[in-house]
DNA sequence: TTATTAATGTGATGCGAATCACAAATTTTA
DNA sequence: TAAAATTTGTGATTCGCATCACATTAATAA
């Protein structure tokens, strides 16, 4: 059945595999749908699997005892998660919640480990992906440590732009900016500060806001100013 | 020459390899010494290699334009660094500076990549190590985002305890606590706050301080309180 | 040992941003 | 399309902690 496993081709860690292997992977996994706001997996839960997002958006977060939340990342189509628990066998350290109705492809731990042993190129690709995430995490730590609220907000905007921004002649557009509360949970500031800062950026002519659309008017300059 | 490559046995990513392969690795790399405070590698520098610490301590940090520093980690014997630039080919994102006179073992990029392809078990072990680092990074992001100064300091102390703490009947001892300024750069607070917070912990009976030695009197309770 | 430099302790002050409070606007649903 | 529920905007207030300033102690060099 041609096309049924196409989505796997766009997953970075599988993209180097030949068609036959991709088909095989498609068979060992299962698809599953999650409604908006539903929990895909929970902190401290064990039993592990790799989740590949076929369609939708998923929020990866950690929460404190008193219920406050840090959003570590927002993942979209062909991103994956759940690999950490598979690799080190420890319990999960984060939650995954569907931000919109989402479909995910699930590969169980053993099958995935098997894949790693049989196809070293998957390991290498996975190493590259983890490296990318580690770089992003280090950047975030730097921002949280050294920057003021304005700088933190800018860093989050840039991160989202890198993830889902559309570039059109120097202008980067984010179609559906997350809610201010979510931005706050990503930036480590308050919701009110997000509101004030975005408007201050707009006043300075750095960005343009209309409803949930955000345009970075001069991406290079913005990056330069707040990198 | 027996013993010359012993240090490689304790490096997690090599520990699964047979003696012969270890010997081979020992031959393709070179040793190098760095005096205290010397730069081992610099941000934005390219040309990559894997560095394994044979002896000493190395500080991995990032700096802002105005010279302020975030310490991402402090590494010791048989830890390694430099793998990110190797894996994704991008320029370095951090500095490495010798905190004391240190000896490192250097494997050039190509040789290391070769090793990864020929020995999948190295890849898997490396994946585990990167996962561990990612977990630590996520924890730090959570602490920086959600916790107050006290919580941040506690998190750093716990991290150091995990890295180099000696356990003796429920008491965890850190022999050589980093300087307050370095602790501040790790915790994302000021030097003064480190001083005040440590004394406040001591007053509460949570820790004991004597010169550069720190004892966490009730590790479990401390972890519980500030986790 | 003494002199010099580095690291730490601790009060006083000020500022950035969290929090509170509520109005306005937008989105959802009935 | 109106009503209800979210989400956003924006002032006023509070508070944590960075910063400043300097004394004290510890480490290093002379």
Q: A191: Cβ under 7 Å from strand D?
A: yes
Angle of helix B149-164 versus helix B120-146 axis, rounded to 10: 160
Distances in whole angstroms, Cα of residue B191 to Cα of each of A12, A172, B129, B179, B198:
43, 39, 31, 9, 11
* CB-based contact A135 B88, cutoff 8 Å: yes
CA-based nearest distance A183→chain B, Å:
12
Q: A199: Cβ under 7 Å from strand D?
A: yes
Angle of helix B120-146 versus helix B109-118 axis, rounded to 10: 110
pLDDT at B65: 86
Q: Which residues, in sequence order, are bridge partners of residue A50?
A: A107
Residues in chain A whose beta carbon is closer than 8 A to a beta carbon of chain B? 62, 64, 68, 70, 72, 83-84, 87-88, 90, 93-94, 116-117, 120, 123-124, 126-128, 130-135, 137-142, 144-147, 185, 188
Q: A192: Cβ under 7 Å from strand C?
A: yes
Nearest chain B alpha carbon to A126: B127
Dihedral over alpha carbons A79, A51, A96, B145 (to 10 degrees): -50
The band of B4, judged by pLDDT with boundaries at 50, 70 and 90, is low
Radius of gyration in angstroms for the set of CA atoms belonging to chain B, rounded to a whole number: 19
Dihedral over alpha carbons A128, B51, B140, A181 (to 10 degrees): -30
Instruction: Return the number of CB contacts < 8 Å for A and B.
Output: 112
Q: Convert the pLDDT of each residue in B74-83 to its tens digit.
A: 999 999 999 9
List the single protein residue with the shortest CA to C1' distance from D18: B190
Show the CA angle centred on residue B138, arms to residues B152 and B8, nearest 5°.
105
Report the alpha-carbon distance of residue B170 to residue A173 in Å, rounded.
Answer: 54
Q: Convert the pLDDT of each residue in A44-103 to its tens digit.
A: 677 799 999 999 999 999 999 888 999 999 999 999 999 999 999 998 889 999 988 899
pLDDT at B2: 42
Which of B158, B226, B147, B227 lies closest to A188, judged by CA?
B147
Report yes or no: A112 and A86 within 8 Å, Cβ to Cβ: yes
Report yes or no: B71 and B186 within 8 Å, Cβ to Cβ: yes
Selected for mutation to probe chain B from A72, A127, A186 (highest B CB count within 10 Å) is A127
pLDDT at A1: 43
pLDDT at B123: 93
Report the alpha-carbon distance of residue B16 to residue B19 in Å, rounded.
Answer: 9
pLDDT at B93: 84
Which of the 8 DSSP states describes residue B178?
P
Q: B167: Cβ under 7 Å from strand C?
A: no
For strand D, which nucleotides have at least one atom less than 7 Å from a protein CB?
Answer: 7-12, 16-21, 26-27
pLDDT at A92: 83
pLDDT at B72: 96
A154 backbone φψ class: left, alpha, beta (φ>0; ψ -120 to 50)? alpha
SS3 A148: coil
* CB-based contact A124 B134, cutoff 8 Å: no
Nearest chain A alpha carbon to B126: A127
Pair type for strands B207-210 and B213-216: antiparallel
The list of chain A residues with pLDDT below 70 reads: 1-4, 44
Mean pLDDT, residues B93-121 taken together: 92
Please provide residue B42's backbone torsions phi and psi, each rounded to the nearest 5 degrees. Answer: -120, 145
Report the alpha-carbon distance of residue B197 to residue B202 in Å, rounded.
Answer: 9
- pLDDT, greater one: A8 or B4: A8
pLDDT at A44: 66
Q: Convert the pLDDT of each residue in B11-49 to its tens digit.
A: 999 998 999 999 999 999 999 999 988 999 887 677 799
Question: Which chain A residues have a beta carbon less than 8 Å from that of B136?
Answer: none
Q: Convert the pLDDT of each residue in B123-134 to its tens digit.
A: 999 999 999 999
* B84: its two tokens: 């990110």
Q: A190: Cβ under 7 Å from strand C?
A: yes
B32 backbone φψ class: left, alpha, beta (φ>0; ψ -120 to 50)? beta
Which of the 8 DSSP states describes residue A67?
S
């Amino acid at each position: 059945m041609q096309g049924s496993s196409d989505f796997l081709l766009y997953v970075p860690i599988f993209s180097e595999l030949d068609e036959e292997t991709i088909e095989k992977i498609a068979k060992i996994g299962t698809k599953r749908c999650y409604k908006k706001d539903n929990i895909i997996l929970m902190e401290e839960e064990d039993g592990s699997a790799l989740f590949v997002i076929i369609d939708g958006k998923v929020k990866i977060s950690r929460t404190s005892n008193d219920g406050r939340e840090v959003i570590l990342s927002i993942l979209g189509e062909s991103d994956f998660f759940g690999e950490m628990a598979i690799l080190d066998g420890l319990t999960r350290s984060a939650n995954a919640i569907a931000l919109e109705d989402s479909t995910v492809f699930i590969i169980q731990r053993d099958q995935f480990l098997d894949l790693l042993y049989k196809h070293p190129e998957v390991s290498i690709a996975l190493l590259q992906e983890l490296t990318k995430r580690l770089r992003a995490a280090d950047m975030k730590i730097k921002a949280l440590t050294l920057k003021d609220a304005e700088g933190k907000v800018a860093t989050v905007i840039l991160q989202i732009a890198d993830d889902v921004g559309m570039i059109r002649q120097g202008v980067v557009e984010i179609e559906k900016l997350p809610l201010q509360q979510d931005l706050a949970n990503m930036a480590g500031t308050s919701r009110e500060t997000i509101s004030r800062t975005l408007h201050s950026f707009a006043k300075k002519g750095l960005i343009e806001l209309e409803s949930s659309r955000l345009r970075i008017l001069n991406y290079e300059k913005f990056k330069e100013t707040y990198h």
